[in-house]
Amino acid sequence: MLKKQLLMAALMATPFFSVQAQELKHIGTETAAQKEQRMAWWTHDRFGMFIHWGLYAMPARHEWVKHNERLTNEQYQNYFDLFNPTQFDPKAWAKQAKAAGMKYAVLTTKHHEGFCLFDSKYTDYKATNTLAKRDLVKEFVDAFRAEGIKVGFYYSLIDWHHPDFTIDYVHPQRPADNSDSAYARLNAGRDMSKYRQYMRDQIKELLTHYGKIDILWLDFSYAGKNGKGKDDWAAVDLLKMIRKLQPGIIVDNRLNLEEYEDGADFLTPEQVKVEELEQFRGKTWETCQTFSGSWGYYRDENSWKSTHELLQLLIGSVSRGGNLILNVGPTARGVFDARAQNALGNIGDWMKGNSESIYGCTYAPTSFAVPQNSMLTYNPTTKRLYVHLLEYNSKVVLPGYKGKVKYAQLLHDNSEVKFTADGDNLALSLPEKKPAMEIPVVELVLQ
Ligand code: GLC
């Protein structure tokens, strides 16, 4: 899919892959130690909720519907006129996020369609002018903060509604023949500098009207011919403004500032398989993932991931030193649909018993080999090692662990697991019957 290719190209162009660290330029003066401190809560918390909500919840067939079906603003207008989320209750969203063990949440304040969930003074294309009649971002912020969840804003750099946003190759009105003359004709009268100012003004609103904002998730760049990148966004100046307004904020890597050491705080591998996360070990990153492939509510998409797969994404991220942000696409009524509620509930059941193997954890020291059919995480503060049993078997061998383990227990109920030495290995004696946990975890207290 076009989108995925664009993102992977952007991702592989990060400094970590292409430029030697010493060649990188700097925008600010923050030291590595200061950055680590600024990001400490995020690195510790590991697990967040993404929320993609906008007018696209109404067509309910992908948040890129306007692009996919080349819809004009006029054709899209019904969704604005009829948007009426009568069951919007962000307190219920926040409770579900909290129960699932999520520690931060990032909401789409504006997605590529251009519709603003917040009360911006720079546009009429906003929630306050729909039947919802209120600032939905404000209510989100209040509700999530009240549950002790950190709040983040997603803001789309792309805007398929704004009259000055120039037509590029991902725009719904992109020319079929892709010719320079067609772009020139379509863009006559559009002034990207006005859009640039609009975007800057709106980001300023978002960062000044809602108190402390913990994360800013800007999305996305596709530099090159008929694409858009850092110059189109005036990205360096924008980032300076962001850091000035919210010094503690954590910003993603989609501004196309790869040539700067401090042009981003974290990498954003999107919808990648758990094994592919291996390449990010040692970097600062968060993988963003959906339940079913689409970010916005997609009624007829049925390829939902199982609880087992979702937990593997979470454990697999932490076991490679990264975060997971898992997305919910609420319906146009304003609720999480039954499938999402069910998935979140199942994750919550697991987290209630096992969150110690997630929060504050990272990859295991290399001196610990990964036992068969398992994933390891490690808490460097408590020095406990966690063995996640992906395929349950009462006979588990810990290869080369002899002399390294003082005590072993199942994490969810602190019940002792006896072990015996077998050469250099340890053999665990686990219950014959699989404990009632989707993925049981053995906690090892190290010597
Ligand atoms: C992409 C998409 C988008 C989604 C996002 C989340 O860039 O364009 O629809 O919001 O990634 O990572």
Mean pLDDT by runs of 10 across the 447 residues of the chain is: 51 46 87 97 98 98 98 98 98 98 99 98 98 98 98 98 98 96 97 98 98 98 97 98 98 98 98 96 97 96 96 98 98 97 98 98 97 98 98 96 98 98 97 97 97
Find the DSSP H helices in 55-107: 65-68, 73-82, 90-99
**3 CA → ligand 1 middle, Å:** 8
Q: Please check whether residue 131 is in contact with residue 332, taking contact to mean a CB–CB distance below 8 angstroms.
A: no
Nearest-atom index, ligand 1, CA of 64? 9
Q: Tell me how far apart the alpha carbons of residues 63 and 54 are, in angstroms, rounded to a whole number.
A: 8
Greatest alpha-carbon span in the chain:
77
10 lines ligand 1 (CB under 6 A): no
Give the distance (Å) from ligand 1 centre to CA of residue 37: 28
pLDDT of residue 382: 97
pLDDT at 136: 98
Q: What are residue 128's phi and psi, to 5 degrees? A: -65, -20
The answer, yes or no, to whether any atom of ligand 1 lies below 6 A from the CB of 63, is yes
CA-based nearest residue to 8, from 253, 217, 234: 253
Q: According to the model, what pLDDT value does residue 16 have?
A: 43
One-character DSSP codes across 290-319: -SSS-SS-BTT---PPPHHHHHHHHHHHHT
Which structural domains are found in the chain, ordered by start?
2-357 (3.20.20.80), 374-446 (2.60.40.1180)
Peptide bond into 291 cis (omega under 30): no
Report whether residue 170 contacts ligand 1, using a CB cutoff of 6 Å.
Answer: no
With contact defined as beta carbons under 8 Å apart, do 167 and 190 qualify? Answer: yes
298 touches ligand 1 (CB under 6 Å): no
Give the pLDDT of residue 23: 87
**Cβ-Cβ contacts under 8 Å for 289 (sequence gap 6 or more):** 270, 271, 313, 324, 325, 326, 327
Pairing verdict, β 323-328 and 286-289: parallel
| 3-state DSSP assignment of residue 32 | helix
pLDDT at 61: 97
CB-based burial label for 413 (10 Å; 0-12, 13-18, 19+): exposed
Best substitution site from 3, 109, 168, 328 to test ligand 1's pocket, by max atoms within 8 Å of Cβ? 3
pLDDT attached to residue 110: 98
Number of CB atoms found within 10 A of residue 275's CB: 9
Q: Among 271, 289, 268, which residue's Cα sits nearest to residue 280?
A: 268
Confirm if 160 and 67 have CB atoms less than 8 A apart. Answer: yes
Residue type, 422: D
Pocket residue to mutate for ligand 1, from 295, 324, 326, most atoms within 8 A of Cβ: 295
Cβ(270) – ligand 1 distance below 6 Å: yes
Q: Are 13 and 222 in contact, with CB atoms under 8 Å apart?
A: no
* Closest C-alpha among 3, 201, 192, 191 to residue 120: 201
pTM: 0.95
> For ligand 1, is residue 217 a contact (CB within 6 Å)?
no
CA-to-CA distance for 388 and 410, rounded, in angstroms? 10
